[in-house]
Amino acid sequence: MQTAQQFKQSYRPAGQDDYDISGRVLDIIRDVRQNGDASLARYTKQFDGENAEVREIPADELKAAFESIPEALRDALIAAKENIEAYQSKIKWQPVEPEGFYPVLHPIGRVGIYVPGGKANYPSTVLMTAVPAKVAGVRCITVVTPPPGNPATLAACHLCGIDHVYTVGGVQGIAALAYGTETIGRVDKICGPGNAYVAMAKKLVYGDVGIDSVAGPSELAIVVDKSSNAEWAALDLLAQAEHDEQARTYLISLDQEKLEEVGRLADQFAEEAPRSEIIKKSLADNHWAILAENRSEAVELLNFIAPEHAAVQTEDADSYAEDVTHAGALFVGGYSPEAIGDYSAGPSHVLPTGGNARFQSGLSVNDFLTANAVIRVDRADYRRYAEAGIPIARAEELYAHAASMEARLNGGNED
């Protein structure tokens, strides 16, 4: 257990010290750029197993996967998809009147989605990325996912009408999307979460291709008080810890007894959990238990950590919504567990990690739109813009800029 002060003094956000992996990740990216498919095949055997194969899954196999999964799962995917569509449609940017200066909205042309598949399978991630892209109007979507391709993930690809699905994961999958190979077409923007290697690869290709955010190993910060249900809070911690040994969990309590109770239950549940090994390592290496003195210290801690998910399960949980400014998503009250956001609530579960919620929002339909300005000045209005521009151009000693504006001051043939 730590005080807020002690925690803040020693804390480092996830990913900031990943220098050791950045070199290795860059080597793989360079190799894929130079050697294309041959490089993909080599790294896939190295990281995913000797028999692992990179291939495109044809549409009829995706359909067969959809038909083969249990009906209850099919219905659940369809229901979740509807919720996601409803939320994303509600928040989609709307065109403004095309007069004067205005932004014109265009869907991004080619989108690549990374669907993780190392320590767990993520059909939900297909929905949480492809549905916003489709609502935006993206015409070509490519999914990459580690081999051999999980049936439920492939089923979700069919449900979402994905154009191309390739069984290639990790850094090599990201590099293939960013630069293209003989068989995989390069895309304009890559989205989707992944482990620390995938997150680093996205950072390193950014600029040559767009990315949504650095959505690395999962994070959850829960705030509890005397009134909180300790069992629920402990289970919520485990629900993040089971993703990855590197998943981070923070328990912030306004009450010392509750802090100890939740911690005890989490350790107890970890022993019996199906993914016990991952959970125990995550809790041992990447869990913080912090005693906050009061509500404002709890809010300050959340904003300091800027976690992927913040969950407030205190008596006055509603009051946190305005004050928590840095969190990928905020879950308010005991009946809003983070797992609901993972699957079926509607906002995307692809959220910024490593403190990036300070400047980055979760994935949404608007990440798949560009809003570029259209500038059209009439002769009647020209003078006031030119007169504001010319002195600034001169101050910058950019005389051709000034001349370009001056030449039009007295009119000409152009109307």
Ligand X SMILES: N[C@H](CO)Cc1c[nH]c[nH+]1
Catalytic residues: 308-309
In the list ligand NAD, ligand X, Zn ion, none, the entry touching 112 (Cβ below 5 to 8 angstroms by class) is none
For 41, 102, 112, 116, the CA distances from 186, given in Å and listed in that order, are: 17, 30, 8, 19
Q: Is 53 annotated as a binding residue?
A: no
What CA–CA distance (Å, rounded) separates 405 from 384?
A: 11
Q: Which does 141 bind (CB under 5 to 8 A by kind): ligand NAD, ligand X, Zn ion, none?
A: none
What strands, in cross-sheet order, belong to the sheet with 2-3? 2-3, 287-291, 248-253, 219-224, 309-312, 329-332
Confirm or reject binding of residue 48 to ligand X (CB under 6 A).
no
**Contact of residue 176 among ligand NAD, ligand X, Zn ion, none (CB under 5-8 Å per partner type):** none
* Non-local CB neighbours of 173 within 8 Å, separated by 6+ positions: 114, 144, 145, 146, 166, 198
What's the closest the beta carbon of residue 291 comes to ligand NAD, in angstroms?
A: 27
One-character DSSP codes across 132-190: HHHHHT--EEEEE--TT--HHHHHHHHHTT-SEEE---HHHHHHHHHH--SSSPP-SEE
User: Token pair of 16, please?
Assistant: 């900031």
Which 131-190 positions form the footprint of ligand NAD (CB under 6 A)?
Answer: 146, 169-171
Q: Which does 146 bind (CB under 5 to 8 A by kind): ligand NAD, ligand X, Zn ion, none?
A: ligand NAD
Check residue 244 for interaction with ligand X (CB under 6 A).
Answer: no
In the bound complex, what is the minimum distance in angstroms from residue 298's beta carbon to ligand X? 21
Report 331-370 residues binding ligand X (CB under 6 A): 342, 349
Amino acid found at 153: T
| Residue 242 near ligand X by CB under 6 A | no
From residue 88, give the alpha-carbon distance in Å to each of 261, 345, 362.
Answer: 38, 11, 12
Report the Cα 360 to chain-centroid distance in Å. 9
CB 254 within 8 A of CB 290: no
User: Which is closer to ligand X, CB of 45 or CB of 358?
Assistant: 358
246 contributes a contact to ligand X by CB under 6 A? no
Closest to ligand X by CB, 116 or 210: 116
Q: 216-275: which residues touch ligand NAD (CB under 6 A)?
A: 216-218, 243-244, 247
Three-class DSSP category at 103: strand
Give how many residues touch ligand X by CB under 6 A.
Answer: 7
* Amino acid occupying residue 272: E
**Does position 172 bind ligand X by CB under 6 A?**
no
Which one, of 413, 393, 307, 322, lies nearest residue 354 by Cα?
Answer: 307
Q: How many helices (H) and strands (E) does the chain have?
A: 15, 13
Q: Tally Cβ neighbours within 10 Å of residue 341.
A: 22
Q: Which is nearer to ligand X, 125 or 282 (CB)?
A: 125
Shortest-Cβ-distance residue relative to Zn ion: 342
The partner in contact with residue 244, picked from ligand NAD, ligand X, Zn ion, none with C-beta cut-offs of 5 to 8 angstroms by kind, is ligand NAD
Is 6 annotated as ligand-binding? Answer: no
Sign of dihedral through CA atoms 336, 338, 340, 344?
positive
Distance, in Å, from the CA atom of 258 to the CA atom of 151, rounded to the nearest integer, reads 41
Question: 342: annotated binding-site residue?
Answer: yes
Residues 106-165 interacting with ligand X (rule: CB under 6 A): 122, 124-125
Instruction: Tell which positions 36-75 bind ligand NAD, by CB under 6 A.
Output: 47-48
Q: What string marks each residue from 353 to 392 as x (binds ligand NAD by CB under 6 A) or -?
A: x---------------------------------------
The length of the chain is 415
CB atoms within 10 A of CB 414: 6
Residues that bind ligand X (CB under 6 A): 122, 124-125, 218, 308, 342, 349
Known binding site for Zn(2+): residues? Answer: 240, 243, 342, 401
Going by the annotation, the residues of the binding site are 114, 172, 195, 218, 240, 243, 309, 342, 396, 401
Q: Can you give the binding site for ligand NAD, defined by CB under 6 A?
A: 47-48, 116-120, 125, 146, 169-171, 193-195, 197-198, 215-218, 243-244, 247, 308, 349-351, 353
Residue stretches of the annotated binding site for NAD(+): 114, 172, 195
Annotated binding site for substrate: 218, 240, 243, 309, 342, 396, 401
